[in-house]
Structure 1
Amino acid sequence: MHIDLNSDLGEGYGAWRMGDDMAMLDVVSSANVACGFHAGDPAGILRTARAAVERGVVLGAHVAYPDLAGFGRREMAMASADLRAAVIYQIGALQGLACTVGARVRYVKPHGALYNTIAHDERQAQDVIAAVCAIDSSLTLVVLAGSPLAQWAHVAGLRTVAEAFADRAYRADGSLVPRSQPGAVLHDPDAVAERMVQWVRTGMVTACDGSAVRIAAESICVHGDSPGAVAMAQRVRDRLLAEGVGIRAFVDAPAPQG
């Protein structure tokens, strides 16, 4: 058995450092690289892309609402034409930087509020899907496990990969606990690693109300901007390997049939 580990990287901006990309790239198999709209400046994005290539880590475009001040975590009611163009613009920017270091963008993972909105808002979801199809229909779209977005993308001909969140709390319906609520982000590396081991074994995670929630996913996300993120990701990786679970980028795995 294999699983992908992904993390949000390239999120520093000018003099402001966000996370430890170089250390995290030694742990994960896929890097969701910021594209400049919620975080990331060109030089930093390029530095992260180059380091990912050196380590054999797959690159994905971490697209977002144009919201630097809010780190892309504020909902925005963008017009369809604007949202489609913004997503195309961001993917294209990362593609341009990636090609200079001998890499290519293999997938798209929306960030923050955009990720959560398109999980259930069909209009904005279709805008993002249309944008991805327009620039490169071979790109994989990373989606929230159990969300209708996967079916909408499938109808449009896009491959999707669902992810489980190692360091985020779940509600009973399989959605994430909003960051505005206490306990939304988990910080204990041992507890998070054990949680992911149990998920791999059973397909279930414990929701915030104590109920068991089934999560069908092919990738595990550990956020790069959380305190102790590298230690947490390393602990998750070590525990999975100890359980006989290999770490492999989902784009290198066979596409699901059916």
Structure 2
Amino acid sequence: MKINRIISKIALLSAIALSPLTFASNAYVGVFGSSINAKAKNEYNYECIGTCGFNAYETYSSNFDQYGFGGGVQIGSWIPVGHHHLAYGFEVGIMGNSGKSTNRESNDLVPPSNSDLISRFSINISYELAAQLLAKLSPVFSAYIKGGAAVSRIDTSIEIVSNFIQGTPLSFPTVETSSDKYRLGWIAGLGLITHINNIDVFFEFDHMSYGSMNLSNIATPLTPPGATSGLLTRNYQDMSANILKFGANFAIGNI
């Protein structure tokens, strides 16, 4: 009998504890601010093509570690799993970024030069589609994980300055080239939500990865006298971004 009473009390306490954690379907629209840390390993190769009078092959390399700020909007929904404290959902978002990194990089030219390369890298705008799984921890707190795809416009530019080649009468004009491309990558993240009536304040960490991007162009302004052209090749490797988001979702329905 005593054991039965204990079991009954445990069942009652469990029912009381879990009852606030049940929730109905929910749709929301949200806004957020973000701190973005974009990373990439990159190499630049400049090669003089034609009659250059010297071995003009120059390589630059560096690791980008760019910080910026941004913001965005998102829409999504939560759908409960049974009558318990789990839900799954889907989310569509768009994020813009402000700020670019500027790295002054060393070079390895034969013969030596005092030329410098200033490079800039930015994830200007990103679109994402993600699936989510939420667990309600208490009546006011929930945690969730997410995973999906991201399409981002990545803007890159370089500027070669002070291009005097030691031991030769040649000097190149300062030149800047830039390009932007859309890249498809994947996104994974986790977050914490505080429920305040129909407003859900959230904090989220995301990681986005894009793989590699190769860019090549014939850079006529980089062509020295007597040469056919100057070939500039850029190779970005392991492009990724870590993103911290802080914002609020305005809910329709209750989680």
TM-score by length of 2: 0.20
More strand by share: 2
The higher radius of gyration belongs to 2
More helix by share: 1
